[in-house]
Structure 1
Amino acid sequence: MSAAVARVMRQVTGEDLLAAITGIVDIPSPTGAEGELASWIAARLARDRVESQVQWIDGRQANAVAVLRGSSGGASTLLYAPLDTFTTGDPAWDVPGAAPRMRPDMLPRAVVSGDLVQGLGAGNPKGHAACVLVALEALAASGIEPSGDVVAGFGAGGMPAFAVEGIGTPGRANTGHGVGAAFLAERGFTTDHAVIAKPGWNVSHEEVGLVWLDITVPGEHTYVGSRHRMPYRNAVALSGVVANRLEDWFEEYAARHEHGTMRPQGVVSSVAGGLGHLAASTPATVRLRVDVRLTTRQTPATVTREVRAFVAAMGRDLGADLRVEQIAAVPASHTDPGSPVVRAAVRAWEAVAGVRHRPIRENSGATDANVLRMRGIPTARVGMPKVPRGPAGESVDYTLGMNLVDVREARRLVEVLVRTVLLLDAPSAAKAI
């Protein structure tokens, strides 16, 4: 095993890894428009004589897929990473919601500072996609013939996002929430095992799901000059009360539903309402949008009912007819920690980390692992740790953490992926793991 790992890792050079990261970061890939990047990845793999294709979903959205064919009908393994970025890289959409003004790290332009690469999505997901790309290239170049197919999947629409007008193909409503992973699995690439590369220096075997809900807060559409003469209820002010009560309740909700390695959180994510061109008026309604996470002990339907019950009680207390509508949902998922893929990933991680693996708890992040598991593929998740300091020694907030990757950590992740594949492919894998 150690000789095989060394043989593959000799193919992983710092130059190739850096070129993969910067090449992927330099191509914009907002949710719904990943086709250009998928084409670049497939072309790079074809250059290295790896069987690859662009799997088009529509005119602008696509996956990239590559396959190392197995020699003797063994179990197949998918190495997977999404391609789309959390923000778009366009100030028309990202300002002021993601930042008061565009920052260098929010642009799809790779900037190299020593071992750090900064640019939109450099840490999540593009650095992880680069690791999958380089791992498959190294396996192919090593000359080692796997007994089962090894598939590399680079998925479109991995972010929890609705379609954005002006990005992607007009008329497409379902460009996010794992559409690329679902399309990959449904159109020819359902494997025996899967490993998804997403942030977190750890191996996880389960993930929360999510429910998106819209809460309608009623008010009176009226005029500031008549406020003191007519019935008055400002839905904007009332929505603030509702939002604050929900935020408090989410903390209790998370504690009450903690299960396994999951502690499902909730947030009030956006507010919509009012007539911006009529500052003299109050709106008839305001919409609050919330994201509520759930564990494998819950379903989207039970979470929706629970939120509705809380909101209805709040409405009675406030004397307001508050309405709740579910607008999106992805169930939580779980892979048996004793399954071959989880055991192989843990063993691979321990070999690289040099310490015993201990699961991280209180997780509330969801990925395409949920979608792959829903398609019947046992899936483990592994990734890189968050970069602790920026290129100039600055503190790393959420946004910079998404947009920063350490090439040294990327190499470690490549080795974890390679070791996992080799462990799963070994003839005695079932006994050895």
Structure 2
Amino acid sequence: MTAPLDAAVGRVMRRVADEDLLAAITGLVDVASPTGAEGELASWIAARLSGDRIESKVQWIDGLQANAVAVLRGSGTGASTLLYAPLDTFTTGDPTRDVPGAARRMRPDMLPRAVVRGDLVQGLGAGNPKGHAACVLVAFEALAASGVELAGDVVAGFGAGGMPTFVPEGIGTPGRANTGHGVGAGFLAERGFTTDHAVIAKPGWSVSHEEVGLVWLDIVVPGEHTYVGSRHRMPYRNAVALAGVVANRLEDWFAEYAVRHEHDTMRPQGVVSSVEGGLGHLAASTPATVRLRADVRLTTRQTPATVTREVREFVTALGRELEAELRVDQIAGIPASRTDPGAPVIRAAVAAWEAVAGVPHQPIRENSGATDANILRMRGIPTARVGMPKVPAGSDGESVDFTLGMNLVDVREARRLVEVLVRTVLVLDGHDAREAG
């Protein structure tokens, strides 16, 4: 690293205090932001970012959903950079929605209420996405407060609808279908904030240049609608039992599919995620159909259409074996995406990561997680992903499962991520090439 870059980084990082990070994390966690209802949190962020040198706004998508955007203007002689993080949480924080699907009972970490224990903050989304959004917010504030001269604009974007979901009832207002799957990131890029580079802050202590895409498929399993009292007297085929066989066969096939399609840093997984069918109020009858929903990930060598076709071929063959007319319908699809590892944003992020980590960068492999990085790349913005490592244990030593991993953040790791973001921006802005003074 050059002396001008180190001097600029030091000048910015002196504006970052642990109490600033803690206040940002707890403030974000304490405002609920389920998918489709991020407007209140976007307004909170925009209000906090209003100040000298910063232009901030709430970018409303509809009456409940919004992005927060802030701009730090450069001289206009350099490339622009977007620091981005989504705002919506994986679960909602509402027991009527989260139990029993996401948990058998509501846990404290699943509530939108920050609890601080030493260097750890617990609460809904504290790790993903709000701890990462806090790092973007604090890095952006420090860049503005430092007075460091910038050649290009720096944009802080906080997006709605980043989780892989369609909320059927649109949280708050029925009939809102377009609430998830990167709607906020797409809206941000299309409505005035397309930049030269982007860095998305999402979990993983590494720099990623590519991500899997996804396809959502419904597998429709037929059966005979009949009555329990007539089971032994009439044609009988229980779609619920048959769906169980189909689900198990798919789960086995997905394990083989992932290995067969592994490419570069991606190993695309698949799961049967939900089942729907039957008349719950009429337990005496079997359903005419049962729907299995599957999420199947894909690499940059595949497309949503080719994956749909591959799954359909397997399911059709399975249907012949089971003597059942199974149907596969695609209901969502987002392509995988890739930024050239030699692109300036990837090289800058890797250099920043190595300066902070103090070791050579090694990409994490066998990834199957998708984020709004796909949406940004689809809008033509070269994008790097970088984030914090998973917290290994809770404050009382409890093991960290998937849910707690989403809802737990270490402030010390957050500070390291802030420095990575700051260094990346300054490298892209040319500070490593400037002469001292």
**Which category of TM-score, normalised to the shorter sequence, fits these structures?**
over 0.9
The one-letter code matched in structure 2 to 1:141 is A
CA contact (8 A) 2:170 2:176 kept: no
Deviation at 1:49, TM superposition (A): 5.6
Distance in 2 (CA, whole Å) between partners of 1:328 and 1:393 is: 39
Distance across 2 between alignment mates of 1:351 and 1:180: 32
Instruction: Provide the secondary structure at the position in 2 that maps to 1:136.
Output: helix
The 5-angstrom pairing of residues 394-409 of structure 1 reads 394-409=398-413
Letter in 2 for 1:116: L
CA contact (8 A) 1:59 1:169 kept: no
Three-state SS of the structure 1 residue aligned to 2:187 is: helix
Asked if residue 303 in structure 1 is aligned to residue 323 in structure 2, the reply is no
CA 1:419–1:168: 2 relative to 1, 3 Å: farther
**Which structure 1 residue ranges, 5 or more long, are not aligned?**
none
Structure 1 residue aligned with 2:155: 151
* Structure 2 gap segments, 5+ residues each: none
Match of 1:11 among 15, 29, 38: 15
Report the Cα distance in structure 2 between the residues aligned to 1:316 and 1:37, rounded to whole angstroms. 51
Aligned match of 1:239: 243
Conserved 8 A contact 1:32-1:169: no
Residue 322 of structure 1: how far off its partner (Å): 0.2
Aligned partner letter, 1:13: A
After TM superposition, list the pairs within 5 Å mapping 1:307-386 onto structure 2.
307-386=311-390
The equivalent position to 1:44 in structure 2, one of 34, 45, 48, is 48
| 3-state SS in 2 of match to 1:122 | coil
The CA distance in 2 between the partners of 1:168 and 1:181, in whole Å, is 21
Contact map agreement 1:58 1:169 (CA 8 A) in 2: no
- Determine if the alignment matches structure 1 residue 294 to structure 2 residue 298: yes
Deviates more, 1:293-302 or 1:419-428: 419-428
Aligned residue in 2 for 1:424: 428
In terms of mean alpha carbon deviation, does 97-106 or 163-172 score higher?
Answer: 163-172
Report if the CA contact (8 A) 2:8-2:431 is conserved. no
Alpha-carbon separation, structure 1, partners of 2:145 and 2:232? 78
2:263: which partner in 1? 259
Indicate conservation of the 8 Å contact 2:185/2:376, yes or no: yes
1:210-252 deviations in Å (ceiling 9; x for gaps): 0000000000011111100000000000000000000000011
Change (3 A) 1:69 1:296: same
In structure 1, what is the equivalent of residue 76 of structure 2?
Answer: 72
- Aligned-pair distance for 1:50? 2.0
Q: Does 1:124 align with 2:112?
A: no
CA contact (8 A) 2:54 2:73 kept: no
| Contact 1:199 1:385 (C-alpha < 8 Å) held by counterparts | yes
Shift of 1:275: 0.5
Say if 2:31 and 2:40, in contact at 8 Å, map to a contact too: yes
Identify the residue that residue 88 of structure 1 maps to in structure 2: 92
Cα distance in 1 for partners of 2:335, 2:184 equals: 17
Partner residue in 1 for 2:27 = 23
- Find the counterpart in structure 1 of residue 178 from structure 2: 174
| RMSD, matched Cα | 1.1
The one-letter code of the counterpart of 1:174 is N
Distance of aligned partners of 1:36 and 1:100 in 2 relative to their CA distance in 1, 3 Å threshold: same
What are the superposed Cα offsets for residues 105-153 of structure 1, whole Å, 9 maximum, x if unpaired?
Answer: 0000000000000000000000000000000000000001210000000
**Helix, strand or coil for the counterpart of 1:173?**
coil
Measure the CA separation in 1 of the matches of 2:407 and 2:342: 34
**Cα distance change, pair 429–173 in 1 and its aligned pair in 2 (3 A):** farther
Quick check: 1:31–1:168 contact (8 Å CA) kept in 2?
A: no
Cα deviation per residue 1:301-339 (whole Å; 9 max; x = unaligned)? Answer: 000000000000000000000000000000000000000
Moved more, 124-133 or 155-164: 155-164
The answer to whether the 8 A contact 1:203-1:346 is kept is yes
- Counterparts of 1:262 and 1:429, CA distance in 2: 34
